[in-house]
Chain A
Amino acid sequence: MTTKPRQCVAIEPDLIAAATGEAAPAARERVDAHVAGCTACRDDFARYRAVDAVVGTLRADPAPPGDAEAARRRLIARLADLKTRLVSYRVFSSPLGPILLAASEHGVALVEYLRGGLSGSRLFAMAGIDPQEDGGELERLHDELLEYLAGRRTRLEWPLDLRFARSDFERAVLQATSAVPYGAVSSYTGIAGDLGKPSAVRAVAQALRHNPVPIVIPCHRIVGVGGDLVGYAGDRIALKERLLAVEGVPTRRDHSGVCRGSMYHYDPNPDRQYCLPTCGTILERPIGRVKLFARRELAEAIGLEPCADCRPDLHPLSV
């Protein structure tokens, strides 16, 4: 290997840059000045230019015609498949403890109280789901959820994706439950009746136990036929009581159930009239058939009228 003169070594980077169209004007001038008096570098320069020209021919499409288009079509198909499986999630803190929110392209799929950490989430137990931690969209949902829990919002109007429900029956139960308004209470028996399956009380309870979107679908508003706070998210009755309290639903001192005596009652009747708990024998009729309301306005918000006999409008329950 011959040793190059020092100035030739020094100019080499500029020379390569100039020959391959990358040099700044100043460098280009330096190279021009040098090669004017240096034959070896002039040859070098020409050689690099020729190499650059060969490289230029490689810019032609490396694939046979049609390959890219076929690849693009396969990509579109895989993207479509990914979109159906992709569920983004995020764990947020809340007054009820850590809560996981998860949503697909169709809507919110999970609202989950996390107990044993993320690994216990249903998100990772279900086939055909591609969970991805993410969350721009979920932040907004979390904000709304916090507003709801603080009593500053009465509705969570979120599009839902009920893919975590295990059957059409469960979806029907969730649907019927979502019709129970804010501040109102019904029972498992009531939901079974609403679905035209009065004997399916246990199945209704099971379906609500697996409610993938608690709070949003208000399974906390469903109590035992006598008003008992049976079951919530497994055994977390305290959560149920707390969510009812947010809506103003009074509960017994021993936390065992709702205080029927402090709620307005509605037993479906042609005049759509709601009553005080002291109206006739209404207090003895089962919750479910009778819906309970924490406040008069909540009953009237769904179009009910005060009973002409007991006049809840003239004798409101003291809060």
Chain B
Amino acid sequence: MGEAVQLDDPAFEAVVATHHGEIYRYLRRLAYRGPEADDLSQETFLRAYRARHRLTPNANIRAWLFTIATNVFRNHVRSERRRRVAHASLQVTRRELDLDGPEAEALAGEVRTLTEAAIRRLPLKQRLAFTLRKLHELDYELIGQSLDCSAESARAHVFQALRKIRTTLNGHALPPTESTR
């Protein structure tokens, strides 16, 4: 063992306090329903608790938790697929638009909904890489570790995702951005 540190219970509680919110948001983005994200985030932290002896002293705990959460989600998708439930494309249309604001935001809301739908339709690896990079700002090295691929292919997944999202939004007016120099 030698290298391993022991995260005692108070230390693990601190890990939960610091990281649960973000991991929950990540899984909430990936999952189709709130309760599902709840289960998956519990599973993530229970697994982390079991594996806490295997952490090395200078481990990046945040990245470690994202990796576990990603694996938990991928397993979940596999078993869901086996049960032939939850088809991404079906779910998109059924998903409640709970993020949408009042009428005034309707346009931005529509574009956002389309974007979310496009993200959900992405192949799993692209979707995970994109979410980790663009919504949780992990670096490519860590994303590669989470997805069992190189940093380069993690980056390629993200760019491929951006191309597809862009295509989805073709023909839609997008909110203006500041000038492009």
B49 near A82 (CB under 8 angstroms)?
yes
B41 near A54 (CB under 8 angstroms)?
no
Compute how far the CA of A130 lies from the CA of B53 in the bound complex, rounded to whole angstroms. Answer: 16
Compute how far the CA of A302 lies from the CA of B80 in the bound complex, rounded to whole angstroms. Answer: 65
Chain A neighbourhood of B50, CB < 8 A: 82, 86, 132
Instruction: Kindly identify, within residues 32 to 90 of chain A, every residue whose CB is under 8 Å from any CB belonging to chain B.
Output: 32, 42, 45-55, 57-64, 67-68, 70-72, 74-76, 78-79, 82-83, 86, 88
Q: B180: which of A42, A75, A83 is its contact (CB, 8 Å)?
A: A42
Can you name the residue of chain B whose Cβ is closest to the Cβ of A51? B166
Spell out A's residues near B (CB within 8 Å). 13, 16-17, 20, 32, 42, 45-55, 57-64, 67-68, 70-72, 74-76, 78-79, 82-83, 86, 88, 105, 132, 134-137, 139
B116, B166, B175 interface centre (most CB from chain A within 10 Å): B166
B25 in the interface (beta carbon within 8 A)? yes
Compute how far the CA of A97 lies from the CA of B37 in the bound complex, rounded to whole angstroms. Answer: 47
Q: B37: which of A49, A57, A71 is its contact (CB, 8 Å)?
A: A71
B181 in the interface (beta carbon within 8 A)? yes
Give the dominant DSSP class at A's interface. Answer: helix
B163 in the interface (beta carbon within 8 A)? yes
Q: B115: which of A16, A54, A67 is its contact (CB, 8 Å)?
A: A54
B135 near A50 (CB under 8 angstroms)?
no
Chain B neighbourhood of A17, CB < 8 A: 159
A62 near B46 (CB under 8 angstroms)?
no
Compute how far the CA of A76 lies from the CA of B108 in the bound complex, rounded to whole angstroms. Answer: 38
Contact flags B11-25 to A (C-beta < 8 A → 1, else 0): 010001000110011
Report the minimum CB–CB distance from A132 to chain B (whole Å): 6
Chain B neighbourhood of A49, CB < 8 A: 177, 180
Chain A neighbourhood of B1, CB < 8 A: 135-136, 139
Starting from the known contacts A53-B174, A78-B46, 12 additional A-B residue pairs (CB-CB under 8 Å) come to A16-B162, A47-B166, A50-B174, A51-B115, A51-B162, A54-B175, A72-B20, A72-B24, A79-B45, A82-B50, A136-B1, A137-B6
